[in-house]
Structure 1
Amino acid sequence: MIEPNAQMVIATYRVVDHQKALEKRAEGIAIGLTIGSWTELPQTRHQQVSAHCGQVQGIRVVEEVADGRVVAEISVGYPQANFNGTFAALLTTVFGKLSMDGEIRLVRLQIPDELARQYPGPKFGVSGCRSRYGVVERPLIMSIFKACVGLTLPELVSQFEEQALGGVDLVKDDEIFFTEAYATPESRVVAYREAARAIAERTGRETAYAVNLTGPVHQLRERARRLSELGAGALLVNIVAYGYDVVADLAADEDVNVPILAHPAVSGALYGGNTYGVEADIVLGQLARMAGADMAIFPSMYGSVTLGQTATERLIAHLRSDTVHKPSLPAPSAGIYPGLVPQLYADFGNDLIVNAGGGIHGHPQGPAAGGQAFVEAIRAVRSGSTLSEAAKHSEVLRIALQKWGTRD
């Protein structure tokens, strides 16, 4: 067996099983996901493969269920020698065939620094994104394209202009925008940048565009380079749908000189259950940051689609903790409106992306007013004023508060 003090990836699983079976279950995981079996190996091979064998680190009963069954946490260590710096190797080793073995959920993943350094992590991180977008002392504001599929380029430009006039820092594509029948990503980047520069002459602020990176996997790197050269403000990548290794490939490429904005589409299939799958903080926080997400979108605690308080706190810890990688900017999404800004500050602090779709487009005076209402709400919080007090001097904020309310 391997030495107990060896550097290992330690995966912790939550299982539902009979208490008497836990030790055998744990040994089965440790051996089954590494060397397969001891008993079927000739004695001469034991020493040869022992350095690659998993090792049970601990078993803890969490609660009793019924009929002698318990909820327990099993921790297993996997030798670094079993990994090659790809997410395919990491996920297949710690949860590959095990993910199909009944009620079992991957709840924690501890990765040694030596192995973590083999993954690129964010190229820009929090400080790099702030520098790129010229936002130093406040949260960033991001608006979301709505009703983009099926629109012509002039119609899309008009919608971009409306959002940019609101003073938002970024406008991102809808993650479902794949068709190029009306406007390619390249044409959108060029057209929006021209529009942003024209608006900046009036407002003093140039809004960046987060373009949805789409196409066959083998073409993504070249397209990302091209979009970067054309002036994209960020690359929106459906990180689970395309895969962590795809994102890591982009983050490691020096010619893709643009922040990566990770979208959580499809991720609910991994974390949505309580007794199966992988915890959301691992999927949307830990792995996303390791792969190179400079900014990470996830369901907020306030909308109809939510992670909940505990899962959100763990996710934020993964994005911000002191590791070998730069920290990532969190972008809670869904259910975000101007009256929520004080709560966002309280829950996430200043290093944050205020990400709104309906909270901007749904403003009775239009998207520009919707963006301005968020600008005014952030200004109020930073000055120590309540939103209700600030609304006395801001019509756009007052109207927003009348429609959505406030959490002052």
Structure 2
Amino acid sequence: MIHATYRIETPLDPARVAAMMAGEQSSGTFVKVQGETDAINARFGARVVGVEVLEEADTPSLSSAYLERKGAKGPWRRASVEIAYPEDNVGVNLPNLAAVVAGNLFDLGELTGLRLMSLELRPEYRDRYLRPAHGIEGTRKAVGVFERPLFGTILKPNIGMSPNETADLVEKLCEAGVDFIKDDEIAGNHPYAPVEARVSAVMQRVRAFRERSGRNVMVAFNITDELDAMRRHADHVQAEGGSCVMASLNWCGLSALQSLRASTPLVIHGHRNGFGAFARHPALGIDFAAYQTLYRLAGIDHLHVHGMGGKFADATEEVVEAAKLSLTTLGSQDDRVMPVFSSGQWAGTLPLTYDKLQRHDFMFLAGGGILAHPDGPAAGVASLKEAWQSIEAGTPLARSNRPALASALDFFGGR
């Protein structure tokens, strides 16, 4: 069975609403129909595992014309609901899995709030879907970094640079000592900088740096597009000796990511931009726990989790939980993905990140934290490495006498 947990809000009996939800998403509808036999319902009907009323509210979180027509009054009960769906209702079909556990539930008139909180799959069922081609260990092996977090950055300015200007910046960042470089999510197949031209220009510099230094810097090229174009771009990245492509998960979708995974051996860097539309309101949408389960079934290798003390709305504990979920195995084999911290990160946010996670299997991306360092990008990278050395030594950053870190603390500390 596929177990889905929801947080619902309704002025009606939560148990009755839960039963209606189970029927709506399996073998029933709002009224019994011809052909709806007991045998069909026994085999394919979803069942309510549990309902727990959590609290009551005087006003609804969302409006419902259906309830207004019915003249429904409060209180509005908020409840946790667990529903089990037969695996045979889905087979191995990731978009349909999402439709079964979510689908029209968000539109039901009986509800003034619904959030899909989590999905629990049998390991044997999870193993029927794709796994990361590289994941944490493959990514570490590709860049040759094993005993610390991977330090990376985002190309800035986000857009507006020609292929050669982008290549110049990438070369500078390679020389500065980064492990990983990625496009911004809004970098695309621009008329002034087509993807294939950017890839060729950048990889010429990356290959040259690799040959003279022995270091392989992973560059995640944003290939977000319609599926055929993404496949072409991934093939071109591979032909140029690249190792990673990036896709905007929410705008490409589950099936496109599955198809991309099946068609390329490259690392897939999963960017979750737009996730706030699914999750920012507590009464509506898809919680990260359920979200990451779905996209991990598509076979991605990296997954953005935002950053602690950064520029986005996430609370620190939300970011921590997202990272820990990414590092939790879902199947019978290692299918963990590399959590990617970003958004307003710099050397000063690294200690909290490590303290909360208590492990170094993560990617730490600092855009301005590297590129805006007062002593230049090389000092920005050095400040991250010096911060990590302080963490390993158990020394507070403020007591460090390391120069790049000291400059970063002076420059970014009051921001």
TM-score, scaled relative to structure 1? 0.90
Measure the CA separation in 2 of the matches of 1:201 and 1:385: 36
CA contact (8 A) 1:281 1:311 kept: no
The amino acid that maps onto 2:337 is S
1:339 aligns with 2:348: yes
Give the C-alpha shift of residue 402 in structure 1: 0.8
CA contact (8 A) 1:10 1:75 kept: yes
Measure the CA separation in 2 of the matches of 1:25 and 1:293: 35
1:41 pairs with 2, 18, 33, which one?
33
CA contact (8 A) 2:10 2:78 kept: yes
2:277 pairs with 263, 269, 275, which one?
269
Give the C-alpha shift of residue 225 in structure 1: 2.7
Task: State how 1:4-403 maps to structure 2 within 5 Å.
Answer: 8-18=1-11, 21-37=13-29, 39-42=31-34, 45-66=37-58, 67-101=74-108, 102-200=112-210, 204-253=214-263, 256-283=264-291, 285-324=292-331, 325-348=334-357, 349-390=359-400, 392=401, 394-403=402-411
CA contact (8 A) 1:238 1:262 kept: yes
Give the C-alpha shift of residue 39 in structure 1: 4.9
The amino acid that maps onto 1:258 is L
Query: What SS does structure 2 have at the residue aligned with 1:154?
Result: helix
Q: Structure 1 residues 225 and 263 mapped into 2: Cα distance closer, same or farther (>3 Å)?
A: same
Give the C-alpha shift of residue 203 in structure 1: 5.1
Q: Which moved more, 1:231-240 or 1:216-225?
A: 216-225
Query: What SS does structure 1 have at the residue aligned with 2:176?
Result: coil
User: Unpaired segments of 5 or more residues in structure 1?
Assistant: 1-7
Q: Structure 1 residues 362 and 36 mapped into 2: Cα distance closer, same or farther (>3 Å)?
A: same
The amino acid that maps onto 1:150 is G
Name the Cα RMSD after superposition: 2.2
The count of aligned residue pairs is: 393
The amino acid that maps onto 2:285 is G
CA contact (8 A) 1:299 1:306 kept: no
Measure the CA separation in 2 of the matches of 1:76 and 1:381: 44
Moved over 6 A (4+): none
CA contact (8 A) 2:345 2:366 kept: yes
C-alpha distance after superposition, 1:154-206 (max 9, x if no partner) = 21111112222221101100110113323332332332233234445665533
Partner of 1:3: none
Measure the CA separation in 2 of the matches of 1:266 and 1:183: 24
Give the C-alpha shift of residue 319 in structure 1: 1.1
Partner of 1:4: none
C-alpha distance after superposition, 1:60-86 (max 9, x if no partner) = 011122343321111111110111323
Measure the CA separation in 2 of the matches of 1:244 and 1:330: 19
Give the C-alpha shift of residue 303 in structure 1: 1.4
Q: Which moved more, 1:354-363 or 1:217-226?
A: 217-226
User: Unpaired segments of 5 or more residues in structure 2?
Assistant: 59-73
C-alpha distance after superposition, 1:267-320 (max 9, x if no partner) = 11111211011112322x322322222111122231131322443343223211
Give the C-alpha shift of residue 385 in structure 1: 3.9
Give the C-alpha shift of residue 148 in structure 1: 4.0
Measure the CA separation in 2 of the matches of 1:116 and 1:403: 47
Partner of 1:5: none
Give the C-alpha shift of residue 21 in structure 1: 1.3
Partner of 2:67: none
Measure the CA separation in 2 of the matches of 1:213 and 1:396: 34
Query: What SS does structure 1 have at the residue aligned with 2:13?
Result: helix
Partner of 2:65: none
The amino acid that maps onto 2:336 is P
CA contact (8 A) 1:336 1:355 kept: yes
Q: Structure 1 residues 78 and 44 mapped into 2: Cα distance closer, same or farther (>3 Å)?
A: closer
Give the C-alpha shift of residue 46 in structure 1: 3.2
The amino acid that maps onto 1:56 is V
Query: What SS does structure 2 have at the residue aligned with 1:299?
Result: coil
Measure the CA separation in 2 of the matches of 1:83 and 1:26: 20
Q: Percent identity?
A: 28
Give the C-alpha shift of residue 143 in structure 1: 0.7
The amino acid that maps onto 1:326 is D
Q: Structure 1 residues 271 and 44 mapped into 2: Cα distance closer, same or farther (>3 Å)?
A: closer
CA contact (8 A) 1:11 1:108 kept: yes
Query: What SS does structure 2 have at the residue aligned with 1:291?
Result: coil
TM-score, scaled relative to structure 2? 0.88
Q: Structure 1 residues 378 and 317 mapped into 2: Cα distance closer, same or farther (>3 Å)?
A: closer
The amino acid that maps onto 2:217 is T
Give the C-alpha shift of residue 88 in structure 1: 1.3
